């Protein structure tokens, strides 16, 4: 069984030889290739080489496009800060308010270099691993785009104090999100994975989530002609799964590190993929034995769950994570058996 078959089996709630594995190791590829991050996050060939190296080293069953959401802000005119240790961040925003952002033109997904970098990364990986390994296109939901364009503070101001302007900005940005999502699928992404932090009740008050967050997410996802995986994005997801359950085209949920997988499955019910719950950003602080124990616990508790995928959560696995930590994960999942349905 190859990785694509394994992941498709999970999607279709069928038995497979073992659970699939997702590593959020877009950044980590640069460690394996030795590429400078300024090249890794600009040149799709260099990024793809990193994912190929990750695949060869740890055999994850899904590969990812760059988890470099700040680049989407840059496509609107935000200025990036580059680093030798982490993906780019937004250092200065394209506009200072939601009102000002309404006047920004939408980047052309077919010609903008920042978007082209993301898309080309997918194209290269999809071509190389066609029929063998799924490639996940990473992007931000329309709700999570404004923090990259105007900053979180200005976006809070709009969402909380100027809801009509916030609504207008979401209407303005949704076509870009839809065009990019469709383009990524066209380029060969098997599925999209996106964050929706600004629809999470740990970030926004419940009335705003209900009035604006969930409806705008629903509207945007309905226009994506392919499978979507919702990523917790650094927020707790388990207590809020009811808000996200049943969204259009949404086939899976990545919960936060340590969140109770059984409780998450109970909240979701059968049907969607459940991904988690390893702490990607802090793997380096744990011993390989501790990581093995975490994997064993997750795998044994979800042994009968054919739609469980072992995954690292949170942001990218940091560059200085020793390789034996990832080897420990790979070893455990590759040795894991599967209970037949």
Residue 42 Cβ vs another protein, minimum distance, rounded to whole Å:
19
Q: In whole angstroms, how large is the CA radius of gyration of the chain?
A: 19
Could you tell me whether strands 308-313 and 135-140 are parallel, antiparallel, or unpaired per DSSP bridges?
Answer: unpaired
In angstroms, rounded to a whole number, what is the distance separating the alpha carbons of residues 137 and 140? 10
**Which CB, 160 or 339, lies closer to another protein?**
160
Residue 283 Cβ vs another protein, minimum distance, rounded to whole Å:
10
**Which CB, 91 or 339, lies closer to another protein?**
91
Phi, psi of 314 (to 5 degrees): 75, -155
Could you tell me whether strands 89-92 and 79-81 are parallel, antiparallel, or unpaired per DSSP bridges?
Answer: antiparallel
In angstroms, rounded to a whole number, what is the distance separating the alpha carbons of residues 18 and 309? 10
DSSP string computed for 69-99: THHHHHHHTPEEE--SSS--EEEE-S-SSHH
Residue 140 Cβ vs another protein, minimum distance, rounded to whole Å:
15
DSSP string computed for 303-315: TT-TTEEEEEESS
Residue 235 Cβ vs another protein, minimum distance, rounded to whole Å:
9
Residue 257 Cβ vs another protein, minimum distance, rounded to whole Å:
9
- The answer to whether 147 touches 72, Cβ cutoff 8 Å, is no
Closest CA to 30 of 80, 79, 68: 68
Q: 275 burial class (0-12, 13-18, 19+ CB within 10 angstroms)?
A: buried
Per CB under 8 A, residues contacting another protein are 81, 83, 85-86, 89-91, 151-153, 156, 159-161, 201-208, 234, 281-282, 315, 318
Residue 86 Cβ vs another protein, minimum distance, rounded to whole Å:
4
Residue 102 Cβ vs another protein, minimum distance, rounded to whole Å:
21
Find residue 275's DSSP bridge partners: 254, 309
Number of Cα atoms under 13 Å in the Cβ half of residue 100 = 14
Residue 209 Cβ vs another protein, minimum distance, rounded to whole Å:
9
28: tokens are 């980590």
**Which CB, 27 or 333, lies closer to another protein?**
27
In angstroms, rounded to a whole number, what is the distance separating the alpha carbons of residues 120 and 65? 9
Residue 210 Cβ vs another protein, minimum distance, rounded to whole Å:
13
Q: How far is CA 133 from CA 6, 10, 62, in A?
A: 9, 14, 6
In angstroms, rounded to a whole number, what is the distance separating the alpha carbons of residues 28 and 40? 10
Residue 230, SS3?
strand
Sign of CA pseudo-dihedral 91, 95, 96, 102: negative
């Amino acid at each position: 069984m190859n990785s694509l078959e394994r992941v498709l089996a999970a999607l279709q709630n069928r038995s497979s030889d073992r659970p699939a594995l997702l590593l959020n190791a877009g950044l980590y590829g640069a460690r394996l290739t030795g590429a400078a991050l300024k090249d890794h996050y600009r040149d799709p060939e260099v990024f793809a080489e990193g994912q190929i190296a990750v695949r060869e080293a740890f055999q994850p069953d899904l590969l990812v496009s760059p988890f470099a959401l700040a680049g989407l802000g840059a496509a609107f005119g935000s200025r990036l800060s580059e680093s030798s240790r982490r993906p780019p961040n937004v250092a200065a925003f394209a506009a200072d308010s939601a009102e000002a952002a309404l006047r920004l033109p939408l980047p052309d997904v077919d010609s903008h270099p920042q978007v082209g970098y993301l898309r080309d990364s997918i194209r290269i990986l999809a071509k190389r691993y066609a029929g063998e390994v799924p490639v996940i296109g990473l992007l931000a939901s329309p709700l999570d785009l404004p923090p990259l364009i105007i900053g979180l503070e200005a976006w809070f101001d709009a969402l909380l104090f100027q809801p009509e302007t916030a609504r207008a900005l979401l209407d303005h940005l949704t076509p870009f999100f839809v065009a990019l999502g469709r383009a990524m699928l066209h380029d060969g992404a098997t599925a999209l994975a996106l964050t929706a932090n600004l629809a999470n009740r740990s970030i926004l008050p419940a009335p705003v989530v209900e009035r604006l967050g969930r409806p705008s997410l629903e509207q945007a996802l309905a226009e994506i002609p392919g499978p979507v995986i919702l990523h917790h994005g650094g927020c707790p997801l388990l207590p809020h799964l009811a808000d996200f359950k049943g969204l259009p085209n949404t086939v899976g949920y990545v919960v936060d590190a340590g969140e109770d997988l059984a409780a998450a499955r109970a909240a979701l019910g059968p049907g969607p993929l459940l991904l988690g719950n390893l702490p990607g950003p802090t793997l380096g602080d744990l011993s390989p034995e501790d990581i093995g124990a975490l994997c064993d616990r997750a795998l044994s508790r979800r042994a009968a769950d054919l739609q469980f995928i072992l995954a690292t959560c949170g942001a990218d696995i940091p560059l200085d994570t020793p390789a034996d930590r990832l080897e420990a994960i790979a070893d455990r999942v590759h040795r894991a058996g599967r209970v037949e349905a």
